[in-house]
Amino acid sequence: GENVEQHPSTLSVQEGDSAVIKCTYSDSASNYFPWYKQELGKGPQLIIDIRSNVGEKKDQRIAVTLNKTAKHFSLHITETQPEDSAVYFCAASSGGTSYGKLTFGQGTILTVHP
């Protein structure tokens, strides 16, 4: 099955700096790569996603890049703000008969210091 590795496990930045979180996946059939933000005591919230036919996608301060050849994708947050502090998860969809099945990375705890 699919395996997703996420790095770093913790990331601390100053307000206004950029933050980058990287993930690798193992299944070349994966074709959908979402990123979720999870705040304490809440369910994961979808913040951005990318499909295999696109190399990069941007939404205001958040961008995601995908390299299918290398099987890795990254989340970029620019001009970080304290409210960006949360746990971020990457995920990959393994496709096939279970199109929507997501395999998650282990998560990155992002702390943005004012």
Partner 1 sequence: EAEVAQSPRYKITEKSQAVAFWCDPISGHATLYWYRQILGQGPELLVQFQDESVVDDSQLPKDRFSAERLKGVDSTLKIQPAELGDSAMYLCASEGIELRGEQFFGPGTRLTVL
Asked if 89 touches partner 1 (CB under 8 A), the answer is yes
Of 95, 93, 37, 44, residue with least CA distance to 66: 93
Asked if 99 touches partner 1 (CB under 8 A), the answer is yes
| Residue 111 dihedral angles phi and psi, to the nearest 5° | -120, 125
Distance from chain centroid for Cα 74: 6
Q: Which of 10, 12, 67, 106 binds partner 1 (CB under 8 A)?
A: 106
Of 18 and 28, which CB lies nearer to partner 1 in the complex structure?
28
The token duo for 13 is 């930045």
Q: Which of 7, 32, 57, 62 binds partner 1 (CB under 8 A)?
A: 32
Residue position matching structure tokens 């790095």: 7
Distance in angstroms (rounded) separating the CA atoms of residues 17 and 10: 15
Q: Least distance in Å: CB of 53 to partner 1?
A: 13
Per DSSP, the three-state class of 84 is helix
Q: Which of 42, 60, 69, 83 binds partner 1 (CB under 8 A)?
A: 42
Question: Could you list the residues that contact partner 1 (CB under 8 A)?
Answer: 4, 6, 32, 34, 36, 41-46, 49, 51, 89, 91, 93, 97-107
